[in-house]
Every structure is written in structure tokens, then in C-alpha cells.
């Protein structure tokens, strides 16, 4: 059988592209963001939802699965799982092969309505173009740390969102351990780790500038 080219991939800076399997997302992982949407921050365990791998895109413009006038941007640190984590195993940074910045593009009104009705968030969170990622940085250019600072500019509005992973309620090892408590983590799984406060509207054609402080990278894209 010919090899399928219908595999969604992400790019690693200066290395090449690698396939993606599952896309896990953490909700309400920053207390101030939970508060700005009127939600209580989770205490016991992370809130997890999924995006299909077909939702994935890079920073170049792509068709979006819904024709809404506005979406909401959520900038997040994104992890690429490099080595599998067995069901029930304890996770740590050694399982992470790459980091990137990403935007969890959200249909906020749809999400609010679904939430109010007690229905799944899928059509608010998972659609073509909703999982936006910068190029990934391999382990050789960063070290595992509690604090990664990042920001998002939309058009000429700098610092629409400014965040630091030090403010995450559940840190990277805790997220990995929790995910592996009910699913084996596979090589190629992505994890969106949650967004800080400052989420807001963004529309098709808007310019997006994603900045990581250390290692220092600035990525430009367009919705």
C-alpha cells in the first residue's frame, strides 16, 4: 500500500517536519484567565479537551472551518511529546521533544452556549485552522524550566496577551502525569497547556505576532 500523505505534521526549526497524533488541550490553567471568563479555576485536576489533528495549521493563512466574523485568540505554550509515556506512568520534561507557541482559536459564543447547555465544546474548539502552531524548538535550544514568558500582538496592538508558564495552575509534569493516568501518551502528541488572561477577538486576515522571551523568538503569522 502506498504511504499515505494525509498526515498532519509540525515543523521543527532547522530540522524538518514530524507527524502529529493527538492534540490535547488544557482549559482554565491560569487563574486570571479562568476569572475573566467567569469560571472557577480547577483545584483537583486539569480540565482537558481535544482538537482533531485536522485542526492543525502553521502561521500562514489557511481556510477556517467556520465563517464567523470573529474568533477568540488564546496564546499558549505547546509541547511535542517525543517519547511515549505509558498508561499510569509519571511524566516529566524528559518526554518533551519540542516546544512552540500556539493559538487555541476559539468560537467563544458557541462555547458559551454549549457550556450553558451542558454540551461538549467540540464545535467551539476543534475545526479547520483552530490549532495554530509556530515552528517547534528542539531540546538543544531550550532547557526545561518552570517559567517561559510569551506574548501575542494582533495587528499593531502589542501585548494583547502576555503570559508566563510560571502562573500555570498545573505545571508540565503534572499535566503529563494526569494525561497518562488515563491514556498512553504517544510520540507526536501535542499538548496546548492553557492560556493566560487577555483573550479577545481576532478576525480572518489579522496579523499575529507570537513572541517567546527565552529562547528569544518572534514569529509572524496571519489568521
Q: Which residues bind Mg ion (CB under 5 A)?
A: 74, 104, 195
If the CB atoms of residues 128 and 138 are measured against Mg ion, the closer one turns out to be 128
Find the shortest distance in angstroms from Cβ 16 to Mg ion.
27
Q: Ramachandran region of residue 198, left (φ > 0), alpha (ψ -120 to 50) or beta?
A: left
Find the shortest distance in angstroms from Cβ 19 to Mg ion.
23
Find the shortest distance in angstroms from Cβ 39 to Mg ion.
12
Find the shortest distance in angstroms from Cβ 104 to Mg ion.
3
- Our CA dihedral for 128, 134, 139, 145, rounded to 10 degrees, sits at -100
Which DSSP string corresponds to 177-212? Answer: HHHHTTS-B-TT-EEE----S--EEE-TT-EEEEEE
CA angle 102, 111, 147 (to 5 degrees): 30
184: DSSP letter: -
CA angle 98, 101, 102 (to 5 degrees): 115
Find the shortest distance in angstroms from Cβ 107 to Mg ion.
12
Q: Strand 75-81 and strand 96-104: pairing?
A: antiparallel
If the CB atoms of residues 15 and 192 are measured against Mg ion, the closer one turns out to be 192
Q: Tell me the residue number closest to Mg ion, measured at CB.
A: 104
If the CB atoms of residues 165 and 195 are measured against Mg ion, the closer one turns out to be 195
If the CB atoms of residues 29 and 209 are measured against Mg ion, the closer one turns out to be 29
If the CB atoms of residues 126 and 195 are measured against Mg ion, the closer one turns out to be 195
Which DSSP string corresponds to 92-127? Answer: -GGGEEEEEEEEE-B-HHHHHHHHHTT---HHHH-S
Amino acid at each position: 500500500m502506498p504511504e499515505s500523505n494525509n498526515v498532519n505534521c509540525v515543523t521543527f526549526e532547522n530540522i524538518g517536519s514530524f507527524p502529529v497524533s493527538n492534540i490535547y488541550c488544557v482549559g482554565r490553567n491560569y487563574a486570571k484567565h479562568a476569572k475573566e471568563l467567569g469560571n472557577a479555576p480547577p483545584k483537583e485536576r486539569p480540565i482537558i479537551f481535544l482538537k482533531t489533528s485536522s485542526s492543525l495549521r502553521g502561521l500562514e493563512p489557511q481556510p477556517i472551518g467556520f465563517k464567523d466574523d470573529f474568533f477568540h485568540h488564546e496564546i499558549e505554550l505547546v509541547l511535542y511529546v517525543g517519547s511515549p509515556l505509558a498508561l499510569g506512568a509519571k511524566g516529566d520534561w524528559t518526554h518533551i521533544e519540542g516546544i512552540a507557541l500556539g493559538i487555541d482559536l476559539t468560537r467563544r459564543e458557541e462555547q458559551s452556549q454549549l457550556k450553558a447547555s451542558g454540551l461538549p465544546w467540540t464545535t467551539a474548539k476543534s475545526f479547520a485552522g483552530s490549532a495554530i502552531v509556530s515552528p517547534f524548538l528542539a531540546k538543544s535550544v531550550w532547557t526545561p524550566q518552570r517559567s517561559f514568558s510569551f506574548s501575542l500582538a494582533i495587528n499593531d496592538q502589542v501585548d494583547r496577551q502576555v503570559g508566563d508558564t510560571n502562573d500555570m495552575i498545573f505545571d508540565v509534569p503534572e499535566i503529563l502525569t494526569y494525561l497518562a493516568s488515563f491514556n498512553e501518551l504517544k510520540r507526536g502528541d501535542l499538548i496546548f497547556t492553557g492560556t493566560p488572561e487577555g483573550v479577545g477577538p481576532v478576525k480572518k486576515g489579522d496579523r499575529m505576532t507570537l513572541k517567546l522571551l527565552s529562547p528569544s523568538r518572534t514569529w509572524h503569522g496571519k489568521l
